[in-house]
Amino acid sequence: MLAPVKVAVCMKEVPAAAAPKRIDPGTKRLDRSVEGALNDFDTHALEEALRLKDSAAETEVVVVSMAPERASESLRKALAMGADRVVLVSDEAAAGSDLVATTAVLAAALERESPDLTLFGQQAGDADGAVLWAAIADRLRLPMISQAASLELQDGKVRSKRQTEFGYDVLEAPLPCVVAVSDAINDPRYPSLKGIMGAKKKPQDVVSLADLGVEPGRAGEAGSRTAVLALAEPPSRGDSRRIEDDGGSAATEILSYLTERKLL
């Protein structure tokens, strides 16, 4: 029987799939005023945490996020799926945080929770950086496993398989540990009606930078180490030609086009 543990799952709110995506020319940041949703990759991390909870009922699953307070609506889905509570870091001073500033805030939130295991999805759908978990593990000075395609806890250790082009690497690390899971590790469950109703009664704690002991200068634009200097439209494709497949002649026309430009 698996011993109870405390699992933190870092989850991000991203623009919903159907929402328009645009860069705000004023702030030079992604416009997040549109409808939000949980990052799909992070739901695999949550599912893995819930499976650990299924194996040991006393296991606690805490979702940790940094976002505007309205993200509480999206995070309620995590509670409906089975998470016990949410810790949302929401502070105006954190707006515009880059990777460095974001990891400073999330690392402080995780230190406050002191989980045995911290889980991440492999990347965020609105950024695809796939390095946040490594940076946080470095800040917390904890061992890290990435691209986990399986996960087991036993005797105070986490054991995982990472898929490679040559097969699987089998990795083992002591707890506490940070693990970023692959989207191939599981199929996330859907919230049940009972879970949806119960989510309304579960705690969502909204904390500020001050609550975490993070100075404003370490977050937001002030704490960031990167900046977008300018935005521009993509360059024109130049001389282009549209070829319609009229009676099966498209292949011949494409061949002629490439030959004229000495591309064959």
Give domain status of residue 246, yes or no. Answer: no
Which residue matches tokens 């690390």?
Answer: 173
- Joined together, the tokens standing for residue 20 give 């328009």
Query: Looking at the domain assignment, is residue 163 inside a domain?
Result: yes
* Residue environment code for 229-262, b if the CB has 16+ CB neighbours within 10 A, otherwise e: eeeeeeeeeeeeeeeeeeeeeeeeeeeeeeeeee
- Residues 167-192: pLDDT tens digits? 889 999 999 999 999 999 999 999 99
Residue 205 tokens, joined? 């704690």
| Domain-located, residue 249 | no
* pLDDT classification of 152: cutoffs 50, 70, 90: very high
Average pLDDT, the chain: 91
Residue 241 lies in a domain: no
| Domain encompassing residue 136 | 6-223
Q: Are 60 and 156 in contact (CB under 8 A)?
A: no
pLDDT tens profile 61-106: 999 999 999 999 999 999 999 999 999 999 999 999 999 999 999 9
Structure confidence by residue, pLDDT tens digits, 216-240: 999 999 999 998 888 887 777 776 7
Q: How far apart are CA 14 and CA 53, in angstroms?
A: 26
- Of the chain, the percentage scoring pLDDT greater than 90 comes to 68
Residue 261 covered by a domain: no
Tell me: pLDDT of 111 over 60.
yes
Q: What is the CATH number of the domain that holds 76?
A: 3.40.50.620
Cα three-residue angle 169-172-176, rounded to 5 degrees: 140
Is 23 part of any domain? yes
For the chain, the domain total comes to 1
Rounded CA separation 175/22 (Å): 41
Contact 44, 179 (CB under 8 A): no
Segment 12-54, tens digit of pLDDT? 999 888 888 888 888 888 888 888 899 999 999 999 999 999 9
* 254, part of any domain: no
The pTM score is 0.85
Joined together, the tokens standing for residue 144 give 């890290």
On whether residue 250 sits in a domain, the answer given is no
